[in-house]
């Protein structure tokens, strides 16, 4: 039992489960899943579907944060990849053709991969502080996205492109499979190779890692490139959802949600040890919260206040002090249950 | 190791040796602290009286730090009673302990380098006037506290501009601001030179004479006898006994600490007299290696199986020389040859590719990766060499880690424990394991035995002697000239960032090396 409580994702899971339970109690329809034409529908399914862009961004953010960095430009990069993709589709006479869709996706993520590489260059090679280095593209990115679309919100009609966010496969939303694929690939690359351990080493003690021969420059550079790539895919999903390249709304403030998801998942902003599982739980927690806000009918202008309140509770549950107090309660509850145990004697 | 043959508390009962007329300030009785799977302290008693300097002795892992952390409120105790000034206390934080008058000065100075000296001394106790802090009065107060310790410096200067020694004294002043009756000094001397130690000791004696109870932890036996009135010895988390320093001979103290007679160190002495074949080409050769403002160009040859010692005072350039050899800093002059062929070393990666390993003197900042486990720290060197794609498999890791934990005696022998939870000596062994696992042919050990206990020290020295006898070349750097003379066949003497000579060590002793440094200095003056 003690080992379960001490596991790094224990409290994040508790927070998520509590949120789900409260939702189910308050509105019984929350947990209801309807099967229609072999496809699943319901609030939970919506959460799985809508969380995909944040999932991709938060995965990249986790790796970047593990290196002691931060990537503020992910939202802007989402706008850029959506603009590139939709401009390609828009300028094509055959917007439904598979090769055009592939070109649009490839073009979008290639641009953000380049942007991510640029961020990595600033941080890993020039040694610029991550928050400043990525602020550059955070500010410039949306301008670049508008340049690409010529200042308009490009809209397109393309069923296959729309399928990515709206389509279903094996009863589940396609976007959910994108999340699963991204999580799986990141876990495989980080944990099946030594990359995860070396990333943690660089995040915990950069100088010791350098002297131990770790190529920390490449590792940090790669983290930002990966973050760019993942943000690119997130931008594709987002634009597929609204079938428009909205340079201002796409991924707006998602960098903060992503950072929050990483922290909720138990990865420290100080870098070092990171938990992909924790981030996944953090993403679902945030998405469930958003769903709860909509359901409760909290007016959009004040919804950030509500969100902030819940986040404070969730983070407080995870604080060292609260945990120790909980552990003490736990211990005293046990000693009451067993009056002859060592604790009371 | 026969640890149970001397049963705790049977040697001397603390009451027998306590000066009867002085009431204890701190009394700890039956202190027990358990970590998952380990009893770090087991029913330990400890008494500290006003106006005494009390040394806490024990090997790494004996429980010294744990006992101190129990007294300073860092760890909660699982059993036992702590009484301060006759009042039972239960500390939940360091603030609780400070309120009870207990202050601590740690091995690594815990001050804010970006603040001024005065701000550091008075932090949290600034003099307040109308409209906030009265900085003028605050600095005046800080200066007064510093003067009390005989330190006369500008309190508005930045802390970073002062030496570690002065920073230690500033940390002590800071403790005195809170009117502490108990001052704990945890390894305060490990980065100080002789004169600085003297100054610190003067301050400590002065505080004792003013009635402060001082708990002092050090690994330097000389300092223990120079300073302390009472000695308490711990071993494996249990109390061995408390003794007046004057009645406890040095060899008995060591025997009590490690539970065996320490003849291990003498057995190593054969290392220095081993003859090295210097007819063939040297394994490593540097010519005119230097860096402007860091090291005057110097030559270095290391032969196969040879231990070359670097001797010199702190700041003499011995560490700087080693860092240039390893590429940790980039040299701006010089050539390097490895096994007769010219190589370029401008980064640690280059050096590692040339099978050169370097263990830094700053274990915490440049050695261990604290949050990673013992096992991960050990394989880090191999893994870095292989690159991230070729992961060292679980089975391979287990085999390597087991081999080195056994060979070097890492305690606790738990590969999955975060390395930051190990004692200094064991962290050093983990670092040694990391480098040995990469199978280097030249290993540079910078202060591998600093701040670690006699037992671990003997282990590391023995390992160095053993490996070099098998053909490994070693550059051994240490502040303890004795150690260098004992291990090295040849000694490079450094002074003022310059190599001043080389000595064959088979027929010299410590005094010869010291004379060499001193005489060379005079020549220069003349």
Closest alpha carbon within chain B to A325: B92
Residues of A in contact with B386 (CB under 8 A): 194
Note whether residue A341 is domain-resident: no
Tell whether the torsion through CA atoms of B367, B106, B95 and B69 is positive or negative.
Answer: positive
Both B336 and B461 in one domain: the answer is yes
CB contact under 8 A, A213 and B328: no
* Cβ <8 Å between B388 and A219: yes
Chain A residues lying within 8 Å of B349, measured CB to CB? 213, 215
Q: How far apart are the first and last CA of chain A?
A: 23
* Pair B80, B95 in one domain: yes
What are the backbone angles phi and psi of residue B245, rounded to the nearest 5°? Answer: -60, -35
Residues B448 and B510 grouped into a single domain: yes
Judged by a CB distance cut-off of 8 A, whether residue A214 touches chain B is yes
Is A222 domain-assigned?
A: yes
Domain that holds residue B175: 108-179
Cα A219 to Cα A63: distance, rounded to the nearest angstrom: 10
Say how many domains are in chain A. Answer: 1
Nearest in space to A197 (alpha carbons), one of B391, B349, B438: B391
Q: Which of B439, B471, B502 is the last residue of a domain?
A: B439
The answer to whether residue B212 sits within a structural domain is yes
- Residues B91 and B206 placed together within one structural domain of the fold: yes
Q: Is residue B299 part of a domain?
A: yes
- Asked if residue A94 belongs to a domain, the reply is yes
Taking CB atoms and an 8 Å cutoff, what residues of chain B touch A197?
372, 376, 380, 383
B340 and B376 within one domain: no
> What is the rounded average pLDDT of the residues A33-45?
90
Give the helix/strand (H/E) hosting B492: strand B490-494
Return the percentage of chain A with pLDDT > 90, whole number: 68
Count how many domains chain B has. 4
Do residues B121 and B70 touch, judged by C-beta distance below 8 A? no
My answer on whether B184 and B86 are in the same domain is yes
Which pLDDT belongs to residue A200?
96
Q: Which of B326, B380, B387 shows the shortest C-beta gap to A201?
A: B380
Q: Does B24 share its domain with B154?
A: no
A344, part of any domain: no
With respect to residue A343, please indicate whether it lies within any of the assigned structural domains. no
The length of chain A, given as a count of residues: 345
* Interface predicted TM-score of the whole assembly (ipTM), two decimals: 0.84
B96 and B113 in a common domain? no
Whether B270 is in a domain gets the answer no
Give the residue numbers spanning the domain of A225: 2-336
Yes or no, beta carbons of A212 and B348 under 8 Å apart = yes
CATH number at residue B15: 3.40.50.300
pTM confidence score: 0.75
Considering the domain boundaries, does residue B338 fall inside one? yes
Q: Tell me if B26 is assigned to some domain.
A: yes
pLDDT in tens, chain B (526 residues): 344 443 344 444 444 444 546 778 999 999 999 876 667 898 999 999 999 999 998 876 688 888 998 998 888 888 999 999 888 888 888 888 888 889 888 766 678 888 999 999 998 888 888 888 889 999 999 999 898 888 888 999 988 888 877 888 888 888 888 778 899 998 887 667 777 888 889 889 988 998 899 999 887 777 888 899 999 999 888 899 999 999 988 777 877 876 654 455 555 556 777 788 788 889 999 999 999 888 999 999 999 999 999 988 767 889 999 999 999 999 999 999 999 999 999 999 999 999 999 999 888 889 999 999 999 999 999 999 998 999 999 999 999 999 999 988 888 889 999 998 888 888 999 999 999 999 999 999 998 987 777 778 888 888 899 999 999 999 999 877 778 888 899 999 988 788 988 988 777 777 788 778 766 654 544 3
Taking the Cβ of residue A167 and every Cβ of chain B, the question of whether any pair is shorter than 8 Å is answered with no
Average pLDDT over residues A31-59: 93
Residue A154 counted as domain residue: yes
CATH at residue A70: 1.10.3470
Question: Is B268 part of any domain?
Answer: no
**Which chain A residues are Cβ-neighbours of B348 within 8 angstroms?**
210-213
- Tell me the two tokens of residue B434: 């990391």
Average pLDDT over residues A206-217: 93
Same domain, residue pair B304 and B450? yes
Position B67 scores a pLDDT of: 92
pLDDT at A201 over 50: yes
Q: Which residues contact A225 (CB under 8 A, 6 or more apart)?
A: A113, A116, A117, A120
Residue B288's φ and ψ, nearest 5 degrees, are 55, 35
Report yes or no: A66 at the B interface, CB cutoff 8 Å.
no
pLDDT tens figures, A283-295: 999 999 888 888 8
CA–CA separation, B229 vs B264, rounded Å? 28
Do B447 and B510 fall into the same domain?
yes
B272 assigned to some structural domain: no
């Amino acid at each position: 039992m003690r080992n379960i409580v001490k596991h790094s994702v224990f409290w994040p899971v508790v927070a998520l489960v509590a949120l789900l339970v409260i939702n189910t109690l308050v509105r019984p329809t929350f947990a209801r899943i309807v099967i229609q034409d072999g496809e699943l529908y319901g609030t939970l399914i919506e959460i799985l579907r809508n969380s995909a862009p944040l999932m991709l961004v938060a995965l990249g953010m986790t790796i970047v944060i593990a290196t002691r960095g931060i990537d503020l430009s992910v939202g802007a990069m989402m706008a850029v990849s959506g603009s590139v993709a939709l401009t390609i589709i828009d300028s094509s006479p055959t917007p439904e053709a598979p090769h055009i869709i592939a070109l649009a996706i490839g073009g979008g993520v290639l641009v953000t991969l380049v942007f991510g590489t640029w961020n990595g260059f600033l941080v890993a090679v020039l040694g610029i502080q991550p928050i400043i280095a990525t602020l550059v593209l955070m500010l410039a990115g949306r301008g670049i996205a508008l340049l690409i679309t010529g200042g308009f919100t490009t809209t397109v009609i393309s069923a296959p492109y729309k399928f990515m966010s709206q389509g279903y496969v094996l009863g589940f939303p396609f976007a959910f499979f994108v999340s699963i694929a991204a999580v799986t690939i990141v876990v495989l690359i980080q944990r099946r190779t030594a990359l995860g351990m070396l990333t943690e080493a660089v995040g915990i003690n950069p100088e010791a890692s350098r002297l131990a021969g770790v190529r920390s420059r490449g590792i940090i550079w790669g983290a930002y490139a990966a973050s760019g790539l993942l943000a690119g895919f997130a931008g594709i999903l987002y634009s597929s959802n609204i079938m428009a390249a909205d340079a201002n709304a796409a991924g707006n403030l998602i960098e903060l949600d992503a950072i929050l998801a990483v922290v909720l998942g138990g990865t420290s902003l100080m870098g070092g040890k990171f938990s992909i599982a924790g981030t996944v739980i953090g993403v679902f927690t945030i998405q469930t919260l958003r769903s709860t806000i909509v359901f409760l009918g909290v007016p959009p202008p004040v919804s950030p206040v509500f969100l902030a309140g819940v986040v404070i509770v969730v983070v407080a549950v995870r604080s060292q002090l609260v945990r120790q107090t909980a552990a003490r309660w736990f211990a005293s509850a046990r000693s009451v249950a067993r009056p002859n145990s060592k604790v009371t004697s | 190791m026969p640890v149970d043959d001397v049963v705790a508390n049977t040697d001397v009962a603390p009451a027998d040796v306590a000066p009867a007329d002085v009431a204890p300030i701190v009394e700890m009785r039956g202190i027990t602290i358990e970590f998952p799977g380990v009893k770090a302290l087991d029913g330990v008693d400890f008494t500290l009286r006003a106006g005494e300097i009390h040394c806490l002795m024990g090997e790494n892992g004996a429980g010294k730090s744990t006992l101190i952390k129990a007294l300073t409120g860092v760890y909660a105790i699982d059993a036992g009673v702590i009484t301060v000034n006759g009042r039972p206390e239960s500390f939940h934080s360091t603030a609780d302990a400070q309120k009870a008058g207990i202050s601590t000065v740690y091995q690594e100075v815990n001050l804010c380098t970006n603040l001024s000296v005065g701000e550091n001394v008075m932090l949290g106790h600034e003099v307040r006037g109308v409209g906030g802090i009265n900085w003028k009065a605050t600095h005046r107060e800080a200066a007064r506290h510093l003067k009390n310790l005989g330190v006369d410096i500008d309190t508005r200067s930045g802390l970073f501009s002062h030496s570690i020694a002065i920073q230690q004294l500033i940390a002590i002043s800071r403790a005195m601001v809170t009117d502490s009756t108990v001052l704990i000094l945890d390894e305060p001397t490990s980065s100080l030179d002789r004169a600085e130690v003297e100054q610190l000791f003067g301050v400590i004696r002065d505080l004792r004479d003013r009635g402060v109870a001082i708990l002092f932890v050090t690994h330097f036996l000389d300092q223990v006898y120079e300073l302390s009135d009472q000695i308490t010895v711990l071993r494996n988390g249990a109390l061995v006994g408390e003794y007046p320093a004057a009645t406890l001979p040095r060899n008995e103290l060591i025997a009590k600490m490690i539970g065996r007679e320490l003849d291990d160190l003498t057995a190593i002495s054969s290392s220095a007299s081993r003859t090295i074949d210097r007819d063939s080409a040297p394994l490593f050769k540097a010519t005119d290696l230097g860096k402007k403002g860091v090291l005057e160009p110097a030559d270095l040859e290391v032969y196969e199986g040879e231990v070359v010692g670097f001797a010199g005072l702190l700041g003499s350039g011995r560490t700087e020389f080693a860092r240039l050899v390893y590429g940790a800093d980039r040299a701006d002059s010089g050539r390097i040859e490895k096994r007769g062929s010219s190589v370029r070393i401008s980064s640690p990666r280059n050096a590692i590719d040339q099978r050169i390993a370097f263990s830094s003197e700053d274990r915490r900042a440049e050695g261990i990766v604290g949050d990673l486990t013992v096992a991960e720290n050990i394989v880090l060197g191999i893994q870095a060499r292989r690159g991230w794609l070729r992961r060292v498999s679980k089975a391979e890791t287990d085999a390597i880690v087991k081999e080195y934990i056994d060979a070097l005696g890492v305690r606790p022998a738990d590969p999955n424990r975060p390395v930051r939870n190990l004692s200094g000596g064991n962290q050093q062994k983990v670092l040694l394991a990391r480098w040995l696992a990469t199978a280097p042919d030249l290993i540079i050990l910078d202060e591998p035995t600093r701040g670690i206990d006699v037992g671990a020290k003997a282990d590391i020295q023995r390992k160095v002697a053993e490996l070099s006898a098998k053909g490994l070349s070693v550059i051994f750097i240490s502040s303890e000239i004795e150690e260098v003379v004992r291990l090295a066949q040849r000694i490079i003497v450094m002074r003022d960032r310059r190599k001043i000579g080389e000595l064959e060590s088979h027929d010299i002793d410590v005094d010869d090396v010291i004379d060499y440094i001193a005489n060379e200095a005079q020549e220069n003056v003349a």
